[in-house]
Structure 1
Amino acid sequence: MPPSTALRRTPVAGLVLAGALTLTACGEVRAPGSVAAATPSASASASVSASASASAPGASPYVEPGAGDGAPHYHENNAYRQSGDMTPAHARDAEREAARIRPVLERLWKQRTWDPSAVRAALLRLGYEEERVTPDGKRLGGTLTVREMFPRYQDDGYVTPEGALVALRVHADACVSAFVQKSNYEVRTNGPYPETGCFEPPYGH
């Protein structure tokens, strides 16, 4: 074989060998020019990482999507804190009442007045009627309830902070809930809660 022919064949054999090594290393056949496409995108990498984390040893199989702190059965354990749904029309009615209550609580807060009796008197002047309920929970009429703050655990015991909680029942499915205390005040709308009606239940149930 002429020397020139051997020289021509050596590069070709090298290319074939390199191709075989590439196939062996990757374990799949790719069309020419597909190297860039084979590089995982950032989103794909993130997805793979998330899947790997979810299946990692020690990961809880009971974590629910959207769980606040990743605790098992979060939504089940916090069902008492899930307010009911309001119809759009009733939600608008509740917003209108919230707009009436908000400036009253703002004024009281600026005056540093947040005891329940004073807050109740100020809101009754808007024309609301205090809600009346029998000992067994049957409603007799009225829509407004003002009470002290829920007790909190502090310094090895329960204390009742200064301030007032407000609940206005606008419809059976629509409420205004509010509070005013030394640090701040808030007025918002919500559906009723399973156990506490228009009042947002405290944590640590």
Structure 2
Amino acid sequence: MPVTPLGPTRRTLAALAVLLAAATALTACGEQRTTATAGPADPATAGPAEATPYVDPGIVDGAPHNRDNLAYRRAKEITPAQTADAKREADRIEPVLKRLWEQGSWTPEVVRSQLIALGYQVERTGPNGEILGGTLDVRAMDSRFETDHYVTPPGARIGLRVHPDTCVSASVDPSTYAVSVNGTYPETGSCFQPPYGH
């Protein structure tokens, strides 16, 4: 009486090896893959790593094409002259936001009225998003998902257009206030940074 082997036969193992090799070849997509070594956590102190087609230089977490994927969240570069103009306006806005923060008044309505008192006009847009006039845009904070629903945190975001592509971006909320100078965001033309999850 013939004895039946308990484990896989050589023929079965050979077939599995061929299938595994074929699957590996199919997932390679015809591109050569190399392995980069992880460097220090601080990109400023990281040494040169072997580049791959899947990881942007300087990206420590190894996220593929991170720079390209987040391009919509990077503001346009502005000139030193534009920066100086925007800084002058930022210096006018900051004391107002500091006072409102100290008073605990950070609703968009209150912030808007205080900035209008400085002489800024509310930005008006047409049906296709074209700017019809004004330079000031004050909005509620971005909503965020918590547990099982979206909530809008208290506070206000401010975008002041100093030039068509130059902004003062600011915010005030219960924890802090902040004022910065930046270019507009290419995808929207707005002074507000688009949220993640685009």
2:197 paired residue number: 204
Read off the aligned partner of 2:193 and give its amino acid letter: E
Cα separation, 1, equivalents of 2:154 and 2:125: 24
Q: Which deviates more, 156-165 or 108-117?
A: 156-165
Q: 1:163 Cα shift?
A: 0.6
2:75 paired residue number: 83
Report the aligned-residue RMSD. Answer: 1.8
1:195 paired residue number: 187
Cα separation, 2, equivalents of 1:120 and 1:195: 25
Matched, 1:129 2:121: yes
- What SS does structure 1 have at the residue aligned with 2:180? strand
2:107 paired residue number: 115
Q: Pairwise mapping of residues 88-167 of structure 1 onto structure 2 (< 5 A)?
A: 88-167=80-159
Q: Is contact 1:87–1:173 with CA below 8 Å preserved after alignment? A: no
- Counting matched residue pairs gives 151
Q: Unaligned regions of 5+ residues in structure 1, if any?
A: 1-49
Cα separation, 2, equivalents of 1:69 and 1:199: 26
Evaluate the alpha carbon distance shift between residue 113 and residue 68 of structure 1 in structure 2; reply closer, same or farther with a 3 A threshold: farther
TM-score, normalization by structure 2: 0.71
TM-score, normalization by structure 1: 0.69
Name which of 177, 181, 195 aligns with 1:185: 177
Q: 1:69 Cα shift?
A: 3.5
Q: 1:68 Cα shift?
A: 6.3
Give the share of equivalent positions with the same residue, in percent. Answer: 56
